A and B are shown apart, each in its own frame.
Chain A
Amino acid sequence: MSNSSTIEVQNADITRELSAGFPDISFVPQATVDDVPTLWVPEERLKDVLRFLKEETKAPYRTLYDLTAIDERTRAHREGQPDSDFTVVYHLLSYDRNSDVRLKVALKGDEPSMPTVTGIWPNANWYEREVWDMFGVRFQGHPDHRRILMPPTWEGHPLRKDHPARGTEMGPYTLPPEKQDAEQEALKVHPELWGFERDEGDEDFLFLNLGPQHPGTHGPFRIILKLRGEEIVQAVPDIGYHHRGQEKMAERQSWHTYLPYTDRVDYLSGVANELSYLMSLERLAGIQVPPRAQVIRVMMTELFRLSSHLVWYGTFGGDIGQLSPVFYMFTDRERILEIVEAICGARMHPVWFRIGGVAQDLPDGWDRMIRFIVDYLPPRLDEYDRMVMGNAIVKARTVGVGQFSLGEAMEWGASGPNIRACGLEWDFRKKRPYSGYEQFEFDIPTAVGGDCYARAQVHVEEMRQSIRIIKQCLDNMPSGDYTSRHRLATPPIKDTNTMHDIETLIHHFLNVSYGPPVPPGECQLITEGSKGAYSYYCVSDGNTMSYRTRLRTPSFAHLQMLPLLSKGILISDLLAILGAIDFVLSDVDR
């Protein structure tokens, strides 16, 4: 494809450009399976390099897509990489080039520290707090250096290799009254410690605690509001109430048995998570997925996009006071889930994709069900347009509310419908096609204004595009295998001699019980989930389990924008913004 070859040229360009721009730095390149140019940068020059990439280079890398770390202390395969105990990884994205660059910084010792980059990208704030919380890497000069996911009373840094993984390793959990009191005390808000700006003058403010249990927050999420009357002066979100340790879990499950966990990351999108994980993993393992499996995957993923968007549609209406939509949308979601159940055997978390393909072939009669839904939904969507999008009150509550510009969206790492609502025609399914998306005809819906109403418009139009893709899957389903015959595909296809001769039996047994050993390497491919850019940064050390799996989720980035969006608005508008932004807490805290 012409697209990918231009990317390769650009990749070589940026390495050369950096070497020319910083002749005094010896960048250490690292080959990765995803072909993202990866360079090790000395800690003291990192900020200069980042600033150069963001501001000075032509077609700049304006988005800090991800910031994370790796505990390297027990890693065996680090050929050619500089010596490091903790590596901090910066993943930058350029929309102009349609290309990424990854910078790595090596840190030594048990209490590593390095300068913050919050001065360059505001969204580094939460990511650095997460790295501090999970790895114990300090960021000098960080404006709000607190834990973010774990409770303030927590001891240790969970993603360090010496921290226990299992809950059952840590002794039985108890909650005696004195502990309850201490935990409640730790949850109290102290404005000066929680990043609230200092008050000027003698004005009195009201502090309002919204959440972690509140019907408008869509799950355990807390936001503390500093109010002047009903107007929000400042909002400080507090997350981590939904942290399920998904990244640590990946280091304990085999590559194969981690699949069920991915379903529960964005729990409304089911197999879309599996697809994202498998895209990185299969590239790492060098597995080619057969065409039929690819199309089945696309079809199921789009069904889940529809289902997730329908939940969003209904609850969005509910959040701004419209109580009927949720009953319509959930009924239609049921019709989709019935198909999902008929094909996969489960509703929300089907765990139906496998390394190399899908779990089994489509059942007889699948086409009738799909045809029903693609015929049934479009007129329903038209009706919902009249009910929700055309409603004068909905418009009054959302037009011009929660606006952000395209520049801000890039600066804060927004993706998915939220960035498309700012007018950017950007969809990873089109820009960096995966799983055969390049063969489908569909449009990238955009909207103007970047407000809550624009986000809603993009969501609604995306549903129509999903139906279009599903229709194409229905009409052009290829024949052939439903899973790959690669030796690492798990479980192996059983149509030949499996279970009848000892070789295939052993192969099957090892892949399923121990899991497939994935060659050492690193890979992160970005996919377009229902809420934005999902990606799994899979680091393999050549074992049957991951050495490190980083989950980059869109909701984390979007929620971090809340303080920006809620300055000077009314509380009721905040709930409209929460409704329109489309997040789930499991996708934020993982």
Chain B
Amino acid sequence: MRQRPDYPRQAASGLQLGGSLEEQVRQNVVLARLQDLLAWGRKNSMWPFNFGLSCCYVEMATALTSKWDIARFGAEVIRATPREADVLVVAGTVFKKMAPIVQRLYDQMMEPRWVISMGSCANSGGMFDIYSVVQGVDKFLPVDVYVQGCPPRPDSLMEGILLLRDMVGDEKRPLTWVVGPQGVLRGPVQSQRDLKTPERMRTTLLRPTNEISYAPLGINGNGEAQTTGR
């Protein structure tokens, strides 16, 4: 993640008392450009729209529940109206009958607004290359982050939220007239595949299919269930 002069973060995390006057000032006074401060605020409170199309929405809802707890990333405040939401997670298949409604819901969201395309159907139509399905929501909406999977696991969605957070934190949205390039300026976007390839290439041992990859349910190696679970 790119680091920038991050006073707001320090202010948010440092609530210890004591120390010298200098330290007190450093922990309680924020010096930042208003534009950066706003970007910091936006990225740490992405409010998703409570909107679901199909199977993916179940995993999106699962991400809100205890085990996954999307609240850790400030994205648990789902809004029932598009007017209060920051991010539209297109969770599921985009049907031709539904597309004009998705467009209308997007139009009702206030700027700045972002779109996460969740799952293969929303990304590209996925396995549903069929007459009634739009082959990807990006045919009519601008998409900021694509989350892969059918449906993506809750942790994949959360990775998508994290990517969007970084993107939003890096955005430059001038608050007044500026000289030079106009509009929203975004930081560089790098392909996740390229970033992850080296790590993935390091995998050389594949687990046999008769083994379980991890100990589910907090069952320890002796086959005894731990009462606390995970």
Enumerate chain A interface residues (CB-CB to B < 8 A).
149-151, 158, 163-168, 170, 172-175, 179-180, 183-184, 187, 212-213, 215, 219-220, 240-245, 248-249, 260-261, 264, 267-268, 311, 326-327, 330-331, 333-335, 338-339, 341-342, 347-349, 360-361, 363-366, 368-369, 372-373, 375-376, 585-586
Q: Please tell me if the beta carbons of B134 and A372 are within 8 angstroms of each other in the complex.
A: no
CA distance A253 to B135 in the complex (A): 18
Cβ distance A511 to chain B, nearest Cβ, rounded Å: 20
Cβ distance A339 to chain B, nearest Cβ, rounded Å: 6
Given the complex, which residues of B lie within 8 Å of A585, measured CB to CB?
54
Given the complex, which residues of A lie within 8 Å of B58, measured CB to CB?
267-268, 311, 348
Cβ distance B68 to chain A, nearest Cβ, rounded Å: 8
Q: Please tell me if the beta carbons of A248 and B131 are within 8 angstroms of each other in the complex.
A: yes
CA distance A361 to B61 in the complex (A): 32
Q: Please tell me if the beta carbons of B93 and A167 are within 8 angstroms of each other in the complex.
A: no
Contact for A347 among B61, B153, B209, B213, CB less than 8 A: B153
Chain B residue nearest in CB terms to A163: B131
Chain B residue nearest in CB terms to A159: B131
Cβ distance B220 to chain A, nearest Cβ, rounded Å: 10
Q: Please tell me if the beta carbons of B96 and A173 are within 8 angstroms of each other in the complex.
A: yes
Q: Please tell me if the beta carbons of B133 and A360 are within 8 angstroms of each other in the complex.
A: no
Q: Please tell me if the beta carbons of A173 and B98 are within 8 angstroms of each other in the complex.
A: no
Q: Mark contacts of B209-229 with chain A using CB atoms, 8 A cut-off: 1 yes-contact digit, 0 otherwise.
A: 111111011010001010001
Q: Is B150 an interface residue (CB 8 A)?
A: yes
Cβ distance A40 to chain B, nearest Cβ, rounded Å: 30
Given A180-B103, A187-B100, A372-B225, A334 and B62 contact (CB-CB distance below 8 Å): yes
Given the complex, which residues of A lie within 8 Å of B210, measured CB to CB?
361, 363-364
CA distance A244 to B99 in the complex (A): 13
Chain B residue nearest in CB terms to A169: B131
Given A327-B65, A334-B62, A244 and B50 contact (CB-CB distance below 8 Å): no
Contact for A363 among B59, B209, B219, CB less than 8 A: B209
Contact for B53 among A242, A268, A363, A372, CB less than 8 A: A242
A-B contact pairs, 23 of them (CB 8 A): A150-B97, A167-B130, A167-B135, A172-B139, A173-B140, A180-B104, A213-B51, A219-B54, A219-B57, A244-B54, A248-B130, A249-B128, A267-B58, A327-B65, A327-B66, A330-B66, A335-B217, A348-B59, A349-B150, A364-B210, A364-B212, A369-B217, A372-B219
Q: Is B67 an interface residue (CB 8 A)?
A: yes
Chain A residue nearest in CB terms to B50: A215
Cβ distance A150 to chain B, nearest Cβ, rounded Å: 7
Chain A residue nearest in CB terms to B53: A220
Chain B residue nearest in CB terms to A181: B100
Q: Please tell me if the beta carbons of B65 and A249 are within 8 angstroms of each other in the complex.
A: no
Q: Is B32 an interface residue (CB 8 A)?
A: no
Cβ distance A388 to chain B, nearest Cβ, rounded Å: 16
Q: Please tell me if the beta carbons of A183 and B135 are within 8 angstroms of each other in the complex.
A: no
Q: Please tell me if the beta carbons of A372 and B217 are within 8 angstroms of each other in the complex.
A: yes
Q: Please tell me if the beta carbons of A363 and B212 are within 8 angstroms of each other in the complex.
A: yes
Chain B interface main SS type: loop
Q: Please tell me if the beta carbons of B54 and A158 are within 8 angstroms of each other in the complex.
A: no
CA distance A175 to B100 in the complex (A): 8
Q: Is B169 an interface residue (CB 8 A)?
A: no
Contact for B65 among A164, A167, A330, CB less than 8 A: A330
Q: Which of B22-46 contact A (CB under 8 A)?
A: none
Cβ distance B213 to chain A, nearest Cβ, rounded Å: 7
In order of increasing CB-CB distance, the 10 nearest A-B pairs are A245-B130, A183-B100, A338-B216, A267-B55, A330-B65, A175-B140, A151-B97, A342-B212, A368-B223, A372-B225
CA distance A330 to B211 in the complex (A): 26
Total B residues in contact with A, Cβ cutoff 8 Å: 53
Q: Is B132 an interface residue (CB 8 A)?
A: yes
Q: Mark contacts of B97-123 with chain A using CB atoms, 8 A cut-off: 1 yes-contact digit, 0 otherwise.
A: 111110111000000000000000000
Given the complex, which residues of B lie within 8 Å of A212, measured CB to CB?
98, 101
Given the complex, which residues of B lie within 8 Å of A341, measured CB to CB?
216
Q: Please tell me if the beta carbons of A376 and B225 are within 8 angstroms of each other in the complex.
A: yes
A151-B96, A242-B54, A331-B67 are known; give 8 further A-B pairs, CB within 8 A.
A167-B135, A212-B101, A219-B54, A244-B128, A331-B66, A335-B229, A368-B223, A372-B225
Q: Please tell me if the beta carbons of A267 and B54 are within 8 angstroms of each other in the complex.
A: yes
Given the complex, which residues of A lie within 8 Å of B62, measured CB to CB?
330, 333-334
Enumerate chain B interface residues (CB-CB to A < 8 A).
50-55, 57-59, 61-62, 65-67, 80, 93, 95-101, 103-105, 125, 127-135, 139-140, 150-151, 153, 209-214, 216-217, 219, 223, 225, 229
Cβ distance A130 to chain B, nearest Cβ, rounded Å: 13
CA distance A360 to B66 in the complex (A): 32
Cβ distance B201 to chain A, nearest Cβ, rounded Å: 22
Cβ distance A288 to chain B, nearest Cβ, rounded Å: 25
Chain B residue nearest in CB terms to A362: B210
Q: Please tell me if the beta carbons of B130 and A249 are within 8 angstroms of each other in the complex.
A: yes
Q: Please tell me if the beta carbons of B50 and A342 are within 8 angstroms of each other in the complex.
A: no
Given the complex, which residues of A lie within 8 Å of B129, measured CB to CB?
166-168
Given the complex, which residues of A lie within 8 Å of B127, measured CB to CB?
260-261
CA distance A339 to B219 in the complex (A): 11
Given A244-B132, A249-B130, A260-B127, A220 and B95 contact (CB-CB distance below 8 Å): yes
Chain B residue nearest in CB terms to A341: B216
Q: Please tell me if the beta carbons of B100 and A164 are within 8 angstroms of each other in the complex.
A: no
Q: Please tell me if the beta carbons of A213 and B101 are within 8 angstroms of each other in the complex.
A: yes
Contact for A264 among B55, B211, B219, CB less than 8 A: B55
Q: Please tell me if the beta carbons of A349 and B217 are within 8 angstroms of each other in the complex.
A: no
CA distance A219 to B54 in the complex (A): 6
Given the complex, which residues of A lie within 8 Å of B99, measured CB to CB?
173, 175, 183
CA distance A260 to B151 in the complex (A): 12
Q: Which of B97, B100, B134, B151 has the most CB of A within 10 A?
A: B97
CA distance A267 to B92 in the complex (A): 11
CA distance A327 to B64 in the complex (A): 9
Q: Please tell me if the beta carbons of B95 and A242 are within 8 angstroms of each other in the complex.
A: yes
Contact for A184 among B61, B80, B104, B150, CB less than 8 A: B104
Q: Please tell me if the beta carbons of A334 and B97 are within 8 angstroms of each other in the complex.
A: no
Given the complex, which residues of A lie within 8 Å of B216, measured CB to CB?
335, 338-339, 341-342, 369
Given A244-B93, A369-B217, A170 and B131 contact (CB-CB distance below 8 Å): yes
Cβ distance B39 to chain A, nearest Cβ, rounded Å: 29
Chain B residue nearest in CB terms to A326: B65
Contact for B133 among A187, A240, A245, A364, CB less than 8 A: A245
Contact for B131 among A167, A335, A338, CB less than 8 A: A167
Contact for B97 among A158, A213, A243, CB less than 8 A: A243
Q: Which of B66, B129, B133, B212 has the most CB of A within 10 A?
A: B212
CA distance A213 to B58 in the complex (A): 15
CA distance A187 to B151 in the complex (A): 29
Cβ distance B150 to chain A, nearest Cβ, rounded Å: 7
CA distance A183 to B134 in the complex (A): 15
Q: Please tell me if the beta carbons of A243 and B225 are within 8 angstroms of each other in the complex.
A: no
Given A173-B134, A220-B98, A245 and B128 contact (CB-CB distance below 8 Å): yes
Cβ distance B141 to chain A, nearest Cβ, rounded Å: 9
CA distance A242 to B93 in the complex (A): 8
CA distance A333 to B66 in the complex (A): 11
Given A243-B95, A339-B216, A168 and B54 contact (CB-CB distance below 8 Å): no
